[in-house]
């Protein structure tokens, strides 16, 4: 299964007065990793939404904080698929400091495939291989 690495830098606006990245930013970084994972796999979120009316609705999210991320550190967000089927996909994340390879956080997000009316639906067959779904 594909693992994609996205690099970003902790911006000053993302830190508290101690220079440590504020906890909610980790979920933003996960989203950046997820979008780039999909792009690398050959899928643009925009196409899925606009052309097929499929939305990836977050139904659960988790982040375990292990070490502080500080202002101006380069962070590597490794993103992969944990599990997936025609109605749901779970992305897994590992965030490390590029400078010393320190594990900063791990997490996951679970997404339900929904139509434009926010009703659960099945992912169209042509997209399933991109998420590792066999049927």
Q: Residue 9: which CATH number?
A: 3.10.129.10
Does residue 6 contact residue 79 with C-beta atoms inside 8 Å?
yes
Residue 52 annotated in active site? no
Q: How many domains does the chain have?
A: 1
Least confident of 11-15, 22-26, 111-115, 127-131: 127-131
* 1 band by pLDDT with thresholds 50, 70 and 90: low
Residue 74, helix vs strand vs coil = strand
- Which run of H or E residues covers position 39? helix 25-41
Structural domain harbouring 24: 3-131
Which residue is it, tokens 């993302």? Answer: 14
Strands 3-9 and 88-97: unpaired
Nearest to 30 by CA among 100, 111, 126: 111
The percent of residues above 70 in pLDDT, for the chain, comes to 99
Residue 135 has pLDDT above 80, yes or no: no
- Among candidate residues 16, 47, 72, 115, the one labeled active-site is 16
């Amino acid at each position: 299964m594909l693992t994609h690495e996205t690099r970003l830098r902790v911006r000053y606006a993302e830190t508290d007065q101690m220079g440590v990245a504020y906890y909610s930013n980790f979920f933003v970084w996960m989203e950046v990793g997820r979008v780039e994972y999909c792009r690398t796999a050959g899928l643009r979120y925009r196409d899925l939404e606009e052309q097929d009316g499929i939305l990836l609705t977050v139904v659960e999210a988790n982040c375990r904080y292990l070490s502080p991320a500080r202002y101006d550190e380069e962070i590597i967000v490794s993103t992969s698929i944990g599990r997936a089927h025609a109605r749901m996909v779970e992305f897994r994340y590992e965030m490390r400091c590029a400078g010393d390879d320190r594990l900063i956080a791990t997490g996951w997000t679970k997404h339900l495939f929904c139509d434009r009316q926010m009703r659960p639906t099945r992912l169209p067959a042509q997209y399933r291989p991109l998420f590792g779904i066999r049927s």
